[in-house]
Amino acid sequence: MVNAKPLPAQLAKLPFTIYQARDLEVASKRLRAKDLRSGGRLIRQHAGMEPALAERARILATATPNAWVSHRTAAHLNGLDVPSWMDKEPLIHLSKPHGLPRVRRTGVIGHRVHVIPGEVTEIDGIPVTTPARTWLDLAHELPLRFVIAQGDQLIRVPRPGLEFRTIPYASKEELRLMIRQHPNMKGVEKARLALDEMRVGSDSFPETFLRMALLDAHLPEPELQLQLDPHNPFSPAADLGYRKHRIAVQYDGAHHRSREQQTRDNRRDEAFINAGWFYFKPNADDLADGFLQLVARIKHARRSR
């Protein structure tokens, strides 16, 4: 039996490649100790420890020259929402340029793609497609409404002081240029259709689906991030609504569960109600039925004004 000597601190907790171990002068026989197991070709990981998705992506990209993280895995690393059925994907997606062989290794779905400069970046040292390129890569397998909703996430304006960035991931003009640069890519036509329906101001999938439900019901385009007083930048704002009819709608999602958020929500709710607005707060149950009942209530409210 091989005795397990302490590994260098850089390798003590995370998966690593054989080459990284050699660079740190770890003996080959140490890599065969029982406290380590194979994590795939040229990769060792600690027995009894299951690395998080980001660390699996990091080590697989490190062990695969000229590859970068893409598609569903890139969506996770970029913080983009994906449908629940896609969220359970356990495999890592890696892409390589068209001129190189497709990645073939355990735990990986390989892609060969055409990529142009600027479409691959780094997140904590991991090579990964940008949010915009990730959106285009996923357009082929996502239903159109999800392509629209994910696109809304790209062009939304971050909330000052609440997020790590201050500008959108992309503008519609930038996305339109990227689509033109990849005319033969699978899903590009769907992305082009989605671009026409994307709007700045939908901050989540449910908000996008709600807006689309209103339009599908032949209601006018709603105002997004509707402020109670449009002349006061500090005025309370609802997700969307119709100012002419004094109708406001605020989706009650999971992020509204904290005590601080509930306090802010209550103050906003009271402001709209006290001002005489129709005020609707749909939730996951309304989302599940496609907002059908909510749309009927909004139509009734419009008729009553």
Q: Break the chain into its structural domains and give their ranges.
A: 9-49, 54-197, 205-304
pTM here is: 0.87
- How many whole angstroms separate alpha carbon 185 and alpha carbon 113? 9
Q: Which residues pair with 127 in a beta bridge?
A: 122
Axis-axis angle for helices 188-197, 131-138 (nearest 10) = 120
Q: What pLDDT, on a 0 to 100 scale, did the predictor assign at position 261?
A: 74
Structure tokens at 68: 């970068």
Return phi, psi of residue 238, to 5°: -105, 165
Return phi, psi of residue 301, to 5°: -65, -40
Q: What pLDDT, on a 0 to 100 scale, did the predictor assign at position 5?
A: 82
CB 142 within 8 A of CB 150: yes
H-helix segments, 156-187: 172-181
Angle at 118 between CA 75 and CA 52, to 5 degrees: 30
CB 226 within 8 A of CB 286: no
DSSP H or E stretch at residue 279? strand 278-280
- How many whole angstroms separate alpha carbon 41 and alpha carbon 39? 7
In this structure, whether the domain defined by 205-304 belongs to CATH 3.40.50.300 is answered with no
Structure tokens at 246: 């004094």
Structure tokens at 272: 């709209």
Q: What pLDDT, on a 0 to 100 scale, did the predictor assign at position 1?
A: 47
Q: What pLDDT, on a 0 to 100 scale, did the predictor assign at position 280?
A: 97
The pLDDT averaged over each successive group of 10 residues in the chain (305 residues) is 74 85 86 85 83 90 93 96 84 94 90 96 96 98 97 93 87 97 96 97 96 98 97 94 97 70 86 96 95 97 90
Q: What pLDDT, on a 0 to 100 scale, did the predictor assign at position 3?
A: 58
- How many whole angstroms separate alpha carbon 1 and alpha carbon 65? 33
